[in-house]
Structure formats: C-alpha cells, structure tokens
Structure 1
Amino acid sequence: MPVTSVDSDAEALTMTLVADFAAGPERLWQVFTDPRQLERFWGPPGWPATFSTFDFERGGRARYAMASPTGEIARGSWEFIDIDEPRGFEVVDSFVDENGDAIPGMPAMRMTFAFDQTDAGSRLTNVTYFDSLEGLEQVLAMGAVEGSTLAINQLDAVLQGLREFAQGKGTQLEILDDQHVRITRLIEGPRELVWRAHVDPDLMRQWMLGPDGWRMSVAEVDVSVGGDYRIAWEPEPGTEGEGFGFDGTTLLIDEPRRIVQTEHMTGTDFPSTTNDLSFYEEDGATLVTLLIEYPDAATRDTVLATGMVDGMEQSFERMERVVLA
C-alpha cells in the first residue's frame, strides 16, 4: 500500500501522512490539481468526493462533498494560499455547510501537499497544522488517520490509468478491514451500458448468472431511492444445486456513477450487507467497484468462502461476451 505512515504530534499540533508511489512527482501534481482525478480518491471508500468548484489559484477556493452509502453528506472547502508547481501547494481546509460557510465548532486547518522525487518515483508528504490540541483531537476522533490512509491508498489506480492498473486481472478482491471488502473489475465497454446491465432486468438475466447451468428466475428491480428489489436464481435441468435469491432496498442513486443497496439472502435470518457499487469510465473502459460492508468479520469470511468472487468473474466474462459484444 502506498501510505507508509500517518503520525500525529500533540506538541507540534500536526498530523503527517507519508506515501510513496512509482509515478513521478509531475504525475502526482496532475492528479491533485485536476478535480476529476482528485475526486476519485479524495474520500475513503464509501465516502467518494465530488468537487463542485476548483478555482486553482492563490486566493481561489475549491468546494467538495462526500456522500456516505446512506446519503449522509460531509462538505469541505479549500482556500489555496500558496502554489509552487510542481512541487506542492498549501490550503486552508474547512468543514462547511451546504452554503459553503464554515461550521461553528469545527476546526479550520492549514494543510500542505509536497511532491518529492525519489529513486523509485515520488513521495507525498501531507502535513495538517491545527490551531489547538482540541482541534487535533477532534479530527483524530472522527477517524482521520484511518480515513486518510484508506483514501490515499486508492491513488495507485488513478496514477496508472485504468487499463494499466486492471486490464487482464479479472475480478480482484481486497479486504480493507473486518467489515469492508472492495471488489473491482475492468469492463471493456462504456459506462452507460455497463450501468444498464446492472439495473435493467432484461439485461441482468443475460449475464448475472454465475457458473453455467443457472438462470435468473426472478428479477424485480425498483431503481429509485427507497425502492425494493428481489432477484433469484435456480439451476437449469441437469445442474445440481438449490435455488436462492436476494432482496433489499436502494439507499442512494447517482446515475450512472453510483448505486447503494442493502442485500439480504431471501428466506434466511442472515444479516444484511450494504453494497456500494460505482462505475468510472476512462478511454472506453469502465471500472466497476463494489464496496461491501459486512456486520462483522465472521459474516465477511462466511460469504467470501462461498466462491462469490469466482462467480462474479464468470458473470462479468459473460457480460462482455453477451451484452457488450
């Protein structure tokens, strides 16, 4: 993982993150100063950022919002106070409301980004300066160390480009912590079509089948916030196995970028998961990312042991053959 350390210093009133990358400092500069690239990693998994403004000049401001899987919004603002291309820049980072006004009782922090050449590529040093120990402790209690680590560890995919990062690797699984896993798959096809393949029952029946020999017997999908869905599979004649299905509710939708739904195995008392599905297109290919939140590590391990990831890969291969061909 790129992040090598995140340290807080109560005496200096700082938090310092260090991360190393194979790409050069000029490439780091590009991704941190382009809002479309920046929003792909500025925000931990499950809280992706969207930058609504990005006035990159001294005295200029950037505003962003991060949305949780349940629709909770956290907003921030940067005021650019120094820019030294391509070595780094400095901002005042503030918690703001929907109008862009600072939220009372929340700290404003000075933050520096430095991009330095290394033998292997480059190093990011991100230092956050606080006005008080209370402000530092407040941000640490909000999970800043864990959140910033997860966020910056997403940067490799952005620096390399989609095809270099994911092409030919199939369906990839990352265990992020006891409750979260991230599954990614590069699909050769436009985002709009890949999105429709995930929400249109007629298309879902063509590819979302796992191993050969199964068919989707139920596909009832209400793609609206608060809408319910139910999908089920059964074996074709001659195929061993028992039918099963899932049901759930849509929590958030941002077509064609993101959909968040609960998922429960129909007819069981198993706990539900939260499935956060996002789509990012680059150069005609779409990266599908599924972030799953489990209630605990035991449930996570039980589900992964079913061969779920292998089944997903078989389905994605079928999508490319049948839906996108």
Structure 2
Amino acid sequence: MPVTDITTDPEKLEMTLVAEFAAPAHRLWHALTDPRQLERFWGPPGWPATFTEFDFTVGGRARYHMTSPRGEASRGAWEFLRIDDGSSFEVIDAFVDEHGAALDGFPAMRMTFAVADAGDGSRLTNVSYFTSLEALEQIVAMGGVEGARQAISQLDAVLQDLRAYAQGKGTRTELLDDTHVRITRLIDGPRDVVWRAHHDPELMRKWLLGPDGWSMTECEIAQGAGDRYRYVWEQDGVPDSGFGFEGESLLSEPPRRAVTTEKMIGMDGPSTLNDMTLYEEEGATLLTLLIEYPDKDTRDMILATGMTDGMEASYARLEEQVIRA
C-alpha cells in the first residue's frame, strides 16, 4: 500500500497524508496535475471523479464531481493559490453545488501537495489545514481519512505504464473488504470497441460465454440508465441446462462507465451492484469491475464458483473474436 501514514492534529488543525511510490517524482507530479490522470484516483473506489474544469495557474480554478454507483454526486472545487512547478502546489478545496458555489454547512480548507524524490521512487505529502476544530472533526466524521487512503492507494496503478501494469496478467480479483471485490483485465484494444462489445447484442453473443461449450440464447441489453437487461446461457446439447442474469442499468456514461444491478434469474434475495469503468492508454483498455455484494457469505459463495476463471475465458474470447476479428 503506498499510503504510509495519515495523521490528524487537533492542536494544529491539520490532517497529513504521506505516500510513497516506485515511480519518479516527475511522473507523480504529472499524475497530480493532469485532470485525465486525476480522474483515475481522485475519489475512493465507487466514487470516481470527473474534472470539468482545470486551469492550472495561480488564481485558476478546477471543478470536479465524484459520482456514486447509484448516481449521487459530490462536487468540489480548487482555487490554485501557489504553484512551484514540479515540486508543490497549494489550493483552497471547497464543497460546491452544481453551479460551483460553495455549499453552506461544509468546510473549505487550504491544502498543499508536495512531491519529492524518495530513494528509488517518490513521496507525496498532502496536508489539509482547517479553520476550526469543528471543521476538522466534520471531515473525519464524513470518512475523510479512510476516503483519502482509498483514493491515494489507487495511484500505484496510475503511475505505471498500463501495459506493464496489466498485460499478460489475465483477470485479477482483489478483495477490498467484506462486500467489495475489484476485478481488472487489460483488453488489448481501444475503449470504444470494448464499450461496443458490451452494448451490441451481436458482438456480446460472440464472447460473453464463459467456458467453451456454452451459447448465449437470450441477450437483451440495457443501453441507458433505467433500462433492464436479461442474459441467458445454455450448455450446447444439454437440455434444461440454462441459467441467466437480469438487472437494471443505474448509470451509463459511454464509453467510460456503466453501473448495473445483477441477480440470477429465479433466485430470491438482494442483487449485486456491478460498476464497470474503462480507461484507454496507447490502444489498450483497462477494464475495472467493482462488485458490491450484499454480505460476505454471498461474496465468498459466488467467488467459489470459479467466477474469475470464467471471466478470463470470456475476456480472452473478447480479444480474439471482437478486437482482432
């Protein structure tokens, strides 16, 4: 984990985060000052950021919003106070509404980002300065410490070349906590093609099959938020072997993000939440799927079915049957 320390100091009214990375300082600086790079980590898993404005000059302003899987938005803005190119910058960070106006009842804070060499890599020191103890305690109560840890811990993947980070490593499953799993797979092809492969029934029938010997017999796709989908598979030559999933699209931001519920057809109980994001770099696309389960037992039961192996077979087929076709 890159985050080595997060401390709060009620006397100095400060919160300090320190993180170290196996990447040079100039690469870390670029990640912190490029809005497209910031979008990959500024926000904890499930709440990715979208920067709609980024004027990286003294007196300039940045605006962003973080969107939950269910579409709730949390908006923020930075005003750049100081920039020491390549080493540090300072902002006023504030909660804002959809028009960019500061929200009543939420604290604004001064925040510094400092980048330095550290051994064979680099170190980030991020300090937030509060105007009162109440403001500091409010941010802590809102989950600011854990949210910062989760967000900055995503920077490792951002700082690496995408192919070096993921190519040849297949489908990877990470247990984030008792109810959240993150799955990643590099698809060797452009993002718009990967998106289309998930939203074109003809293409989907070519690759979303799991192990060999199965066919997709029903493929009703949700194209936008509020639409429902239904997928059914059958084992070739085996009567009554069908099973399937159905659900609803909660969020659709082509070609970047799609969030759906998922439930096995005919089964009782709550749905899972599937949050898929696509990021392209030099013709390759990193597919990240964040799955939220209703409880740990459901998580473990589904993972024990060999889900990761089945997904790898499908993603390999996507590359072969769609990308390289």
**TM-score normalised to structure 1 length:** 0.97
Separation in 2, partners of 1:227, 1:319: 24
Separation in 2, partners of 1:292, 1:299: 12
Quote the residue 2:301 is aligned against.
302
Q: Which amino acid aligns with 2:284?
A: A
Separation in 2, partners of 1:140, 1:178: 22
Quote the residue 1:318 is aligned against.
317
Quote the residue 1:25 is aligned against.
25
Q: After TM superposition, list the pairs within 5 Å mapping 1:12-91 onto structure 2.
A: 12-91=12-91
SS in 2 for 1:37: helix
SS in 1 for 2:216: strand
Quote the residue 2:257 is aligned against.
258
Separation in 2, partners of 1:222, 1:315: 19
Separation in 2, partners of 1:322, 1:103: 50
Quote the residue 1:108 is aligned against.
108
Deviations 1:181-234, CA, capped at 9 Å, x for gaps: 110100011111110111111111110011101111111113121110010111
Quote the residue 1:160 is aligned against.
160
Separation in 2, partners of 1:221, 1:29: 41
Deviations 1:5-29, CA, capped at 9 Å, x for gaps: 2221222211111111011111111
Quote the residue 1:11 is aligned against.
11
Deviations 1:161-198, CA, capped at 9 Å, x for gaps: 21111111110111111111110100011111110111
Q: After TM superposition, list the pairs within 5 Å mapping 1:143-292 onto structure 2.
A: 143-237=143-237, 242-292=241-291
Deviations 1:268-301, CA, capped at 9 Å, x for gaps: 1132011001111110111111011111212111
Q: Which amino acid aligns with 1:97?
A: D
Q: Which deviates more, 4-13 or 162-171? A: 4-13
1:238 Cα shift? Answer: 6.0
Separation in 2, partners of 1:179, 1:10: 33
Q: Which deviates more, 27-36 or 5-14? A: 5-14
Separation in 2, partners of 1:299, 1:221: 25
1:243 Cα shift? Answer: 2.3
Structure 2 regions of 5+ residues with no counterpart?
none
Superposed CA RMSD in Å reads: 1.2
Separation in 1, partners of 2:180, 2:5: 21
4+ runs of 1 displaced by more than 6 Å?
none
Separation in 2, partners of 1:227, 1:126: 42
Separation in 2, partners of 1:7, 1:252: 35
Matched length: 324
Structure 1 regions of 5+ residues with no counterpart?
none
Separation in 2, partners of 1:179, 1:130: 33
Deviations 1:101-122, CA, capped at 9 Å, x for gaps: 0001100011111111111301
Separation in 2, partners of 1:40, 1:285: 15
* Percent of residue pairs bearing the same amino acid type: 64
Separation in 1, partners of 2:241, 2:139: 49
SS in 2 for 1:199: coil
Separation in 1, partners of 2:311, 2:297: 21
Separation in 2, partners of 1:294, 1:189: 30
SS in 1 for 2:198: helix
1:65 Cα shift? Answer: 0.7
Separation in 1, partners of 2:151, 2:124: 13
Q: Which deviates more, 1-10 or 63-72? A: 1-10
1:315 Cα shift? Answer: 0.4
Q: Which amino acid aligns with 1:22?
A: A
Separation in 2, partners of 1:259, 1:19: 30
Deviations 1:122-169, CA, capped at 9 Å, x for gaps: 111111111111111111111111111111111111111211111111
Separation in 2, partners of 1:301, 1:21: 32
Quote the residue 1:130 is aligned against.
130
Quote the residue 1:117 is aligned against.
117
